[in-house]
Amino acid sequence: MLLFSKKQRLMFIASKTDDGRIKGKISLYCRALHVSRQAFNKYLKTKATPWKKATPWKYQPLADAMVAICREDECNDTYGRIRMYQALQLKQPEGVDIPGERTVYRVMEEIGLTHKPKRKPNGITKADKGARKSDDLIKRDFLAERPLENCITDMTEIKASDGKLYVSAIFDCYDLAVLGLAMDTNMKAALCEQTLDNAYKAYPMLRVPFFTATEVHSILASCTVTQSINMAFFKV
């Protein structure tokens, strides 16, 4: 991954080739720094030299607007071209002609605002190929017409100054309410069990099936199951 922006690489080539006057080295530096000869020639045309003035860059107002957006908040420096384009459309900076997303990306690359996300090769969980696969009950349908109809769970890793924490949560697809939450320094099965226990404590009705009394008696009779006094549990 290149550590310097395209403009910084062009400036370096210009300094090493005496603003393009040392012809023999231009191609070598362009190949080494992944810059096209055309881009370098275009840079020289806009660059100020002792014998000519710099040609104004037509995207300078756009570049200034994008830099200002990044400086508004420390989190804004992670903006990619889509979010930057949306921010420009929302703010409509005065005197700035907003181009398409592709041009926004090229200008961001030119001024060094592009970022390549650091993706981890592996997530925090690894699939056991030999284990029995769980049934996909949700089938990517994360909507629900009533509370507790569809519930999902997730686990995330949080880096702290003294180690890592793992947060496990159960959500209700109806309103995204957090039904159960647990946190530990590891992601063993006990963490998931604690999440479920906390959900049961906060919402005892999770233990009760969503059936009417008539449906419950019918299901129990067909399975030769006798209902106990406690509605939350059944015994054979």
Q: Is residue 54 part of a domain?
A: no
Percent of the chain with pLDDT over 90: 6
**What is the per-residue pLDDT across 160-186, written as a single tens digit (0 to 9) for each?**
888 889 999 988 888 888 888 999 998
Q: Are residues 196 and 220 in the same domain?
A: no
pLDDT at position 167: 92
pLDDT at position 48: 58
**Nearest-5° Cα angle at 26, 25 to 27:** 100
- Within 96-236, residue ranges assigned H as helices are 101-110, 189-202, 213-222
Q: Is residue 115 part of a domain?
A: no
CA dihedral 113, 116, 118, 121 (to 10 degrees): 180
Q: Are residues 218 and 185 in the same domain?
A: no
Measured CA distances, 224 to 48, 80, 217, 227 (Å) = 90, 60, 10, 10
Asked if 101 and 66 touch (Cβ cutoff 8 Å), the reply is no
**What are the φ and ψ backbone dihedral angles of 181, each rounded to 5 degrees?**
-145, 135
Q: Is residue 122 part of a domain?
A: no
Asked if 70 and 77 touch (Cβ cutoff 8 Å), the reply is yes
Cβ atoms within 10 Å of 165's Cβ, excluding its own: 15
Asked if 142 and 101 touch (Cβ cutoff 8 Å), the reply is no
Name beta bridge partners: 157: 166
pLDDT, average across residues 98-108: 89
Q: Is residue 227 part of a domain?
A: yes
Q: Is residue 135 part of a domain?
A: no
Q: Are residues 219 and 189 in the same domain?
A: no
Q: Is residue 196 part of a domain?
A: yes
Q: How many domains does the chain have?
A: 4
Q: Is residue 139 part of a domain?
A: no
Q: Are residues 25 and 65 in the same domain?
A: no
Percent of the chain with pLDDT over 70: 75
Q: Is residue 13 part of a domain?
A: yes
| Domain span holding position 88 | 60-110
Please report which confidence band the pLDDT of residue 88 belongs to, taking 50, 70 and 90 as the band edges.
very high
Q: Give the three-class secondary structure for 224.
A: coil
